[in-house]
Chains A and B, each alone.
Chain A
Amino acid sequence: SQQGEEDPQALSIQEGENATMNCSYKTSINNLQWYRQNSGRGLVHLILIRSNEREKHSGRLRVTLDTSKKSSSLLITASRAADTASYFCATDEPGYSTLTFGKGTMLLVSP
């Protein structure tokens, strides 16, 4: 089973700035999901993008998917201190029945 890899491992920005995180994977996928994990908490689903979609929006979140490059990006616009968390991508592959999570990007948004 493959594992998505997030980049960068850590990101530190100021409130109001945009944050961009990337996820790369190795083989074909059906869908890709992004999750957020606040310190000491479980993961929370943010957004799902299907392999036939190129871009998706949800509030201040924008996700893109480039299947030719096997990569996805998560953009958080006008970041807030409350966005401080780890962000994970999760992929599924045809033929596998479960998600595989990357190791995440730690985002720190300073006031």
Chain B
Amino acid sequence: DAGVIQSPRHEVTEMGQEVTLRCKPISGHDYLFWYRQTMMRGLELLIYFNNNVPIDDSGMPEDRFSAKMPNASFSTLKIQPSEPRDSAVYFCASSPGLVQETQYFGPGTRLLVL
């Protein structure tokens, strides 16, 4: 398996633009997580899905953020409109189980909002 795949790897955009981040989890994993990593706040869980259903989105910072998982092999995280404070590295991770299982992280998308 190729592992968790994320695209794009880097994204530079201007404030106010829409940004869409994509993730393909490892086949057979039931859980998918979206994280954001910054120097100030560390690694923050934004939302996670179980069998394509959003379970906990309490980490989503505000309504400008939305996430979907239309099928078991694809998820998106959308920011609209983007703001400079959204600049961060966004990781997708998947897991065959929940807390006691290892999480497998993708390489991340480095987002810069100018």
List A residues at the B interface (Cβ < 8 Å): 3, 30-31, 33, 40-45, 48, 88, 92, 96-104
Question: Smallest CB–CB gap between A13 and chain B, Å?
Answer: 23
- B104 adjacent to chain A (CB < 8 Å): yes
Q: Is the CB of A97 within 8 A of B99?
A: yes
Report, as a range, how many residues of chain B touch the other chain.
20 to 34
> Given the complex, which residues of A lie within 8 Å of B98, measured CB to CB?
97-98
The 9 closest A-B CB pairs, nearest first, are A42-B105, A103-B42, A92-B99, A45-B102, A101-B43, A43-B105, A42-B107, A42-B106, A42-B108
Q: Is the CB of B33 within 8 A of A98?
A: yes
- In the complex, what distance in Å separates the CA atom of A45 from the CA atom of B56? 23
> Given the complex, which residues of A lie within 8 Å of B100, measured CB to CB?
30-31, 48, 92
- B12 adjacent to chain A (CB < 8 Å): no
Since A99-B45, A100-B45 are in contact, a sample of 6 more A-B pairs with Cβ atoms closer than 8 Å, ordered by chain A residue number, is: A40-B107, A42-B91, A42-B93, A44-B105, A97-B55, A97-B56
> Given the complex, which residues of A lie within 8 Å of B103, measured CB to CB?
43, 45, 99
Cβ contacts A to B, 26 pairs, < 8 Å: A30-B99, A31-B100, A40-B108, A41-B107, A42-B4, A42-B91, A42-B93, A42-B106, A42-B107, A43-B43, A43-B93, A43-B103, A43-B105, A44-B105, A45-B102, A48-B100, A88-B43, A97-B55, A97-B98, A98-B45, A99-B45, A99-B99, A100-B45, A101-B42, A101-B43, A103-B43
Chain B minimum-CB-distance residue to A42: B105
A-contacting residues, B64-110, CB 8 Å: 91, 93, 98-100, 102-108
> Given the complex, which residues of A lie within 8 Å of B99, measured CB to CB?
30-31, 92, 96-99
Say yes or no: A43-B91 contact (C-beta < 8 A), given A97-B99, A98-B99, A99-B103. yes
Chain B minimum-CB-distance residue to A43: B105
Chain B minimum-CB-distance residue to A41: B107
Q: Is the CB of B42 within 8 A of A98?
A: no
